[in-house]
Amino acid sequence: MLGLIVLAAENGTGLAPLALLDALLGAPLLARGIAAALPGDEAVAGVLVVPGDLVERVKTEVVERFGLDEIDRVVAGGPSRRAALKAGLDALPSDVDYVLVQEGARVLAPTGLADRVAAAARGADAAVPAVVLKDTIVADEGGSLVSLDVRPRIRAVQGPQAFKVAVLRQALSGADDGERSEAELVAAAGASVQLVAGDDDNLLLRDAADVGRALEVFSRRAVDFAFLYPKDLLPEDPLAKALDPGEARDGSATRDGTLVGGAPVDTKSDSPAV
């Protein structure tokens, strides 16, 4: 079974958790980060990790209001990203063998990316999306520029990322709260990490300027991202209302199952109803 952990942790990467409750085009940034990590090809067991004082608020304002039913649990994280990830892993069902890991501040992962990453991970121990760097990268040695021979091979890693749960747990067990990513930890432990083509617009939101860029990307590429709308503002579904067993009705179904209003009508008789 595939799991999903979305991190909105204190001292993590990206915008602070409280800032992720700000809206972008009518939906909280955190809701968009969750939606960006949802695969379209299979169900997931989802866990959202937030600071303890935001658990109930996020359940109501993000998960329930925007119909993110894939999130089964909202749990409190620890003082660091690494602690938050461990809390998320502990909250997953025991039958989850692979897990997608996503930062709540990564709202621009296009539809389909999570599916490709999950599929690639199942052929290895892990998989991460990555893009070629467009800027020139050099080394600084005492203020002097040093060219890097590895430049053609350098990639910028994105999310969501996918891991075999057992491999990720093992890599985290001996890790400190350093700056190395989970993908680096897994690779350093000897596991295979597959690179998947990422997306140049899939940036991690770190400040107000990034939020402004996200607004521009959404305006330009709206069809590439998941649609979100608050459930309380959706129009009433007349079919669901008609099928609601608690809904009072003047009439009921006829003999052949046809719904009618008022008195029952005999649809099998040639005689008019009286």
| Tens of pLDDT, residues 217-270 | 999 999 999 999 898 887 776 666 667 666 555 544 444 444 444 444 444 444
**Total-model pTM:** 0.83
Question: Structural domain boundaries of the chain?
Answer: 2-135+147-233, 236-274
pLDDT one-digit tens code per residue, 157-176: 999 999 999 999 999 987 66
Give the span between the Cα atoms of 268 and 262, in whole angstroms: 18
Element of type H or E holding 195:
strand 193-197
* 261, 271 contact by CB (below 8 A): no
For the domain spanning 2-135+147-233, the CATH number is 3.90.550.10
